[in-house]
Copies of this chain bind each other. A is one copy, B any other.
Amino acid sequence: MWVMEATNIIGRTSKIPVPASEARAVTVRAGQRVRVVDIEGGQVGDVFAFAADDPTEYLSASHTRTHTSRLFPHVGEAFVTDRRRPILTVAADTSPGAHDMLIAACDPERYLALGADAAHASCAGNLRTALSQLGLRTDVIPQPVNVFMRIPVDASGDLRWLAAASRAGDAITFAAEMDCVVVVSACPQDLNAINGDRPTPMEIEIL
């Protein structure tokens, strides 16, 4: 079931808090902008985007890499869907610029492997919950856009997992290229370094 909710966000800025280790889903019209804000700094956000009229079309990391010939788009470049249509463009970025598009969303299996309980909050679970709060669901967990996540790649292809370097108030802004549903999960990962000392809140602003 994929139902567009009425939104009350047109013509002014709407701010949606994303509590630490939770996610929120928002409906966005083509031409609107979505800012993802790291409130306290050092926090990774898993961002997902789905076409508003069809949840089987979604932002695809691999198609975006193919489209841009980049590991992550520059400001001004677009993320595309699994049908190769632009869905979001990077409009602005006040962070130091490290973002990841290599790593899968954390999920119960990930936490089990790290020695935690399968009931640990996860970005995959958060995505499902956030969509359900808009009356929506998806059958797949797309590979997310991990904003502020710092996964440098060395010349041999090895990845490192570093603490996010974003500062309090840093934000990345996306312009919607089509009507879409955007989900931001304030990543609950607390078993490796990526979120620094602890998971913290984020905010979604719709402009």
User: Chain A: residues with CB nearer than 8 A to chain B?
Assistant: 60-63, 65-66, 69-72, 82-84, 102-104, 107, 109-110, 113, 139-141, 143, 153, 155, 157-161
Instruction: Give the residues in chain B near A107, CB-CB below 8 Å.
Output: 84
Number of this chain's copies in the assembly equals 2
- Return the chain B residue nearest A85 by Cβ: B109
**Cα A62 to Cα B105 with chains together (Å):** 9
**Cα A72 to Cα B157 with chains together (Å):** 7
User: If A62-B103, A62-B104, A103-B65 touch, does A70 touch B110 (CB 8 Å cutoff)?
Assistant: no
Is B110's CB under 8 angstroms from A65's CB?
A: no
With both chains docked as a complex, state the minimum distance between the C-beta of A5 and any C-beta of chain B, in angstroms: 26
**Cα A158 to Cα B110 with chains together (Å):** 29
Instruction: Give the residues in chain B near A71, CB-CB below 8 Å.
Output: 102, 153, 157, 159
Is A70's CB under 8 angstroms from B158's CB?
A: yes
Is A110's CB under 8 angstroms from B82's CB?
A: no
Q: Which of A102, A113, A141 counts the most chain B CB atoms within 10 A?
A: A102
Q: Which of B60, B139, B155, B157 contacts A70 (CB 8 A)?
A: B157
Is B159's CB under 8 angstroms from A110's CB?
A: no
User: If A84-B110, A113-B84 touch, does A102 touch B65 (CB 8 Å cutoff)?
Assistant: yes
Chosen A-B contacts, 24 in total, with CB atoms closer than 8 Å, are: A60-B104, A61-B62, A62-B103, A62-B104, A62-B143, A65-B102, A65-B103, A65-B104, A66-B104, A66-B110, A70-B157, A70-B158, A71-B157, A71-B159, A72-B157, A82-B104, A82-B141, A84-B107, A84-B110, A84-B113, A139-B139, A143-B143, A153-B153, A153-B157
